[in-house]
Amino acid sequence: MAWASMAAFSLSESFPLVVLSTFLYGFALGPLFPGALLVAEEKLAPEPLDGRAAGFTVACAALGEMLLPLLTGLCFDWDHASFGPVQLAICSSSLLIFAGV
C-alpha cells in the first residue's frame, strides 16, 4: 500500500489525491517498526530476541529515521519536482531489501 500511494503521489497533480495518498502512505508505514521486530525474532528462530538484538534494531531504525528525511529534504531543495520520484525510489528499494531478507 505504501508503494501504491507513493506512485499515486508522484504521478498526480490533483490536490485531493495528493492528500489521500499522503495519508495512505503514513497509514501503511505505521506497523513497520513492530513488524521489523517480528521479522528479526523470526530470523533468530531458535533463540528469543534478547535486549541486545532489539537495541540494535532500534538503533538501525533511528539511523534510518534520521537519514531518510535529510536525504529527502536535500533532494526536494535541489529540485522540487524530484520529491515524488525520489520517495517512490526509496519505497521501492525498501521493498526489494525487505523481500530479499
User: pLDDT tens digits for 21-66?
Assistant: 778 877 877 777 777 777 777 776 677 777 887 788 778 878 877 8
Q: Enter the DSSP assignment of 48.
A: -
Task: List the alpha helices (DSSP H) in 30-78.
Answer: 32-43, 51-78
| pLDDT bucket at 87, cuts 50 / 70 / 90 | confident
Residue 92 to residue 46: CA distance in whole angstroms: 31
What does pTM read for this prediction? 0.46
Provide the domain limits for residue 13: 2-100
Number of structural domains the chain divides into: 1
Which three three-digit cell numbers place residue 94? 525498501
For residue 96, name the pLDDT band (cuts at 50, 70, 90): confident
